[in-house]
Each structure stands twice: as C-alpha cells, then as structure tokens.
Amino acid sequence: MTRKVFKILTKTVIVLAVVTGLGIFSLKILGRSGAPLKEGIENFMSETSGMKAHIGELSQSEFFPDVHISMQDIDFFDPRDAENRQMKIDSLSFSIPFYTFLLGNHAAEFFSLKGLEAQEEALTPHALTLDKGTIEVEKETQVPYFSFSGQYAGKPLLARVGAVSRSNYNGKTLYRISDISTIFLTIGDIMLEGTLRGSENGPVLGEAVMKSKTGATPEKSWGPETIGIKREDNLFSCLFETAGDLKQTEKQCTKYFKDSNTK
C-alpha cells in the first residue's frame, strides 16, 4: 500500500469517526431536549396522516444505543378546523435498535398501541376503535405477529399480520412484518385469511379466502389485487365499506370474487 493511499484511508476513517461521534452526540442531546423533538414528531405525524397532530406528553425519547419512544394523549385534528378532533391515541410506544433505525430496517423490539379512536372517514369509512396493538407470539407454533383488536362500526374487529423474528448482536429479539405475510382479519360476521405483500403501488392481497364466522355461507376466494382501505373499486375497501355485514358484503363485493373458485 502506498503512503498516499494509506493517508487517504486514514483520513477517511477519522472523518467517519468524527461524523458518527457528532451524530450520536446530537441524538443524545435531541433525546434530552423534549420540545424540539416533540414538535418534530408532531410535524411528521401531521404530514403522514393529513391531520394536525398534537402530543400531550413525550414521556420517553432516547436514540442511543437504541431508539425508545413513548407518547401519551396524542390527538389528531381536522387541519381546517382546530376544534374538530378526528382521532386520538391514549399511548404509543416502540423500541428500535439504533443501527436498524439508521439503515431503514424498521425491525422493532417492542411495540404497543393503546386506545385509538378514529371518527368515520378519518382512517376508514366507518368509525374505528383499537383497544390494543402489540407484538404477540403464538404459543404452540412460536410464530410472531402484529396483533390489533377493537371495534369497527361498532362490531368486533381482530387483525393479525404475520411477522418474522431474529436475534441481533446483543441477543435481543427483533420483529418485522414479513415480505410476504399471512393476514387474518375478522370484522363482524366476516372472516378473511390470506397473504399480504408489499409493492411500489401499495400492499397487495394474495390468494385469500373469505367466509362467515358462523359458517352460514360457502367460502369465497380471490386472486392477487392491490388493496387500500380508502381507495375505491377493490375488494379490501369494499369489505371495510360494508363493515362486516355478511349480506351487504355478498351483495356489494361479489364482483371481486373468483367465480371459478367459489365453493
């Protein structure tokens, strides 16, 4: 190795070390200064949701060696009417290792959502309540999944999205939604089971089966399709529009079923 190359590599290592050190120092300072960080998270939530977000309390904000965020009393208001609260969350907490946070690999060690209440059309066509959202592991199979339970249009709702787990360098178990995940959803009388995968155009529902929880009607299936709760003209939005009503679902959503696979 020539002296010139060695000098360049040495300088590069020093610069990277300084930049990394300053970055870590800045994140530590940011984690301690509640107001600027709180405002930044509120702005991010506002841009993401299309509503005006306000955090009542940011009780935990650490960024190194792991990212730990815990918030309480989160309100979302109509951006055109500051008095019209469209959604609230009692508490939201999560933990993500710092290095996965930097790399954009959002595998979580911990996730907890409690007390979400959204008016109709805020997130979904009808009012949505999520009592709890968390990471759970099936006892018998040891398969992890992200689980959400609550009510939709006043009817019981349960959603589970399959996850994958792995251990990181310090032995902590991390969870993330699989590239191709299993999905289980019940709304009222309707039960849906299938696969879900990501794409550039949004989530895609793979081969799946819908049936009534009581077994009153035959199973019906359909093939892959881009989905979106608030998008028009697709099966998933139709299911959320009919709000788990079996008769309305059969009436309004029949065109999405694969007739050849109807049993």
pLDDT bracket for residue 115 (50, 70, 90): very high
The confidence score (pLDDT) of residue 15 equals 46
Among 166, 163, 221, residue whose Cα is nearest residue 196: 163
Residue 50 in this model has a pLDDT that exceeds 70: yes
Among 66, 71, 68, 61, residue whose Cα is nearest residue 29: 61
The confidence score (pLDDT) of residue 13 equals 46
Please check whether residue 168 lies inside any domain of the structure: yes
Per-residue pLDDT reduced to its tens digit, 127-175 = 999 999 999 988 888 888 899 999 999 999 999 988 887 776 567 788 8
Please check whether residue 212 lies inside any domain of the structure: yes
Residue 47 in this model has a pLDDT that exceeds 50: yes
Phi/psi at 102 (5° precision): -70, -40
Please check whether residue 104 lies inside any domain of the structure: yes
Compute how many other C-beta atoms are within 10 angstroms of the C-beta atom of residue 22.
10
44 contacts: CB under 8 Å, gap ≥ 6 = none
Q: What percent of the chain is predicted at pLDDT more than 90?
A: 20
Please check whether residue 92 lies inside any domain of the structure: yes
Question: In total, how many domains does the chain have?
Answer: 1
Rounded Cα gap, residues 176 and 197, in angstroms: 13
Q: What is the CA radius of gyration of the chain?
A: 22
Among 169, 168, 69, residue whose Cα is nearest residue 112: 69
Please check whether residue 157 lies inside any domain of the structure: yes
Please check whether residue 26 lies inside any domain of the structure: no
Please check whether residue 58 lies inside any domain of the structure: no
The confidence score (pLDDT) of residue 149 equals 94
Please check whether residue 6 lies inside any domain of the structure: no
The domain containing residue 76 runs over which residues? 65-261
